[in-house]
C-alpha cells in the first residue's frame, strides 16, 4: 500500500494557467507538508498543516494556496503559473509536528512552458 | 539566519567507507536528520540524532556534536546502490509548539567499482 501518494506525477502546462496537485496519506498522520525541490536539488519547505490547520507558511507567493479538506489530504493549488515555478513538488507527512520522521510522496514534476 | 553546509559531491569506491559531513548554524535546534534521495525519487529517512554521539544502524552511522554544530553520516561497505544524494536536515522550533525541517543542499555520492 502506498503511504503518501501524489497526483499527477508529471504536469506540463503553460504560463498563466492554474493547476492543482493532490496529496493523500494513509498513515493516520496528523501533519502534512509541501516541499519544493528546484533544479539544483535544493529541498525547501513551503507549507505545513496539522489537523487541517496551517502551522507553517514560508515565504512563497500567494499564488500558491494549500487546502486541507481533512487530515489525510493536503492539496496545492497554483494560480497564474510562472516559468520559475518549474520544480519537483513533494508532499510529506509525519505523525505530528514533533515527530522526527517524515514520509515523502513520490513527487510531482511540474514544467511550465 | 539558518545555514546548513555539506559538500556538493563525493566519489568513493565500492566496498570502502565514506564520511559525509554537515555543519550548521541555526537557532531553535531540535535535532538533525539524514535522508537519502536516489535520482528521480523521494527522500527517505536514514537517521536522527538529537543528543551528542553516534547512532548506528547497519552499514550507516550518524554522529552529532551540538556544541560544534557538526554532524556526519558514515557509510560502510559501500555498494553501488548507495549512489544517491544525502540530505542533511535540521529540525528547528518554528514556534507555536511546532517544528520544521530545514534541508542542506545535499551531497551527491557516486560509488564506483
For B9-20, the DSSP string reads EEEEETT--EEE
Least trusted range by pLDDT, from A16-25, A97-106, B10-19: A97-106
Residue A23: pLDDT over 70: yes
> What pLDDT shows up at residue A60?
86
Q: Give the whole-number percent of chain B exceeding pLDDT 90.
A: 81
Average pLDDT over residues A59-87: 93
pLDDT band per the 50, 70, 90 thresholds, residue B25:
very high
Closest CA to B66 of B87, B91, B47, B95: B91
Across residues B63-89, what is the average pLDDT?
Answer: 97
Which chain A residue has the Cα nearest residue B42? A106
Band of residue A96 on the pLDDT scale cut at 50, 70, 90:
confident
Rounded to an integer, the average pLDDT of B15-29 is: 93
Mean pLDDT of A34-46: 90
Name the more confident of B92 and A91.
A91
pLDDT of residue B33: 94
> Cis before residue A18, ω within 30 degrees of 0?
no
* pLDDT at residue A109 greater than cutoff 80: yes
- Please give the pLDDT value at position A53: 81
Give the residue-averaged pLDDT of A36-40. 90
Query: Residue A69 region, left (φ>0) first, then alpha (ψ -120 to 50), else beta?
Result: alpha
B-interface mutation test, from A9, A32, A38, A41, most B Cβ less than 10 A away: A41
Say yes or no: B2 contacts chain A, CB-CB below 8 A: no
CA A15/CA A17 separation, integer angstroms: 6
Whether residue A1 is predicted with pLDDT greater than 90 in this model: the reply is no
User: What's the confidence (pLDDT) of residue B96?
Assistant: 64
On whether the CB atoms of residues B32 and B24 are closer than 8 A, the answer is yes
Q: Do residues B60 and B73 lie in contact, with contact meaning Cβ atoms separated by under 8 Å?
A: yes
Rounded to whole angstroms, how far apart are CA atoms B82 and B98? 33
Q: Is B103 on the interface with A (CB under 8 A)?
A: yes
- pLDDT at A29 exceeding the cut of 80: yes
Q: How confident is the model at residue A105 (pLDDT cuts 50, 70, 90)?
A: very high
Asked if B20 contacts B36 with a C-beta cutoff of 8 angstroms, the reply is no
Question: How confident is the model at residue B97, as a pLDDT?
Answer: 65
B85, closest residue in chain A (CA to CA) = A41
B94 C-beta neighbours (distance < 10 Å), count: 19
Tell me the nearest-neighbour CA distance from A42 into chain B, angstroms. Answer: 5
Mean pLDDT (whole number) for A68-93:
95
Amino acid at each position: 500500500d502506498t503511504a503518501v501518494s501524489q497526483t499527477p506525477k508529471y504536469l506540463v502546462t503553460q504560463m498563466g494557467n492554474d493547476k492543482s496537485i493532490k496529496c493523500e496519506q494513509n498513515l493516520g498522520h496528523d501533519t502534512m507538508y509541501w516541499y519544493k525541490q528546484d533544479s539544483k536539488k535544493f529541498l525547501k519547505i513551503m507549507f505545513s498543516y496539522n489537523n487541517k490547520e496551517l502551522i507553517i507558511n514560508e515565504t512563497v507567493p500567494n499564488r500558491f494556496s494549500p487546502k486541507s479538506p481533512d487530515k489525510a489530504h493536503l492539496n496545492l493549488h497554483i494560480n497564474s503559473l510562472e516559468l520559475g515555478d518549474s520544480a519537483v513538488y513533494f508532499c510529506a507527512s509525519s505523525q505530528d509536528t514533533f515527530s522526527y520522521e517524515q514520509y515523502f510522496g513520490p513527487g510531482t514534476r511540474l514544467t511550465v512552458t | 539566519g539558518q545555514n546548513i553546509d555539506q559538500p556538493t559531491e563525493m566519489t568513493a569506491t565500492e566496498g570502502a567507507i565514506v564520511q559525509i559531513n554537515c555543519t550548521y548554524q541555526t537557532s531553535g535546534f531540535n535535532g538533525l536528520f539524514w535522508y537519502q534521495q536516489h535520482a528521480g525519487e523521494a527522500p527517505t529517512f536514514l537517521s536522527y540524532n538529537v543528543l551528542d554521539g553516534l547512532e548506528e544502524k547497519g552499514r550507516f552511522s550518524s554522529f552529532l556534536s551540538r556544541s560544534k554544530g557538526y554532524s556526519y553520516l558514515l557509510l560502510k561497505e559501500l555498494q553501488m546502490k548507495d549512489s544517491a544524494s544525502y540530505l542533511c536536515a535540521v529540525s528547528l522550533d518554528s514556534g507555536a509548539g511546532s517544528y520544521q525541517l530545514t534541508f542542506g543542499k545535499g551531497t551527491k555520492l557516486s560509488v564506483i567499482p
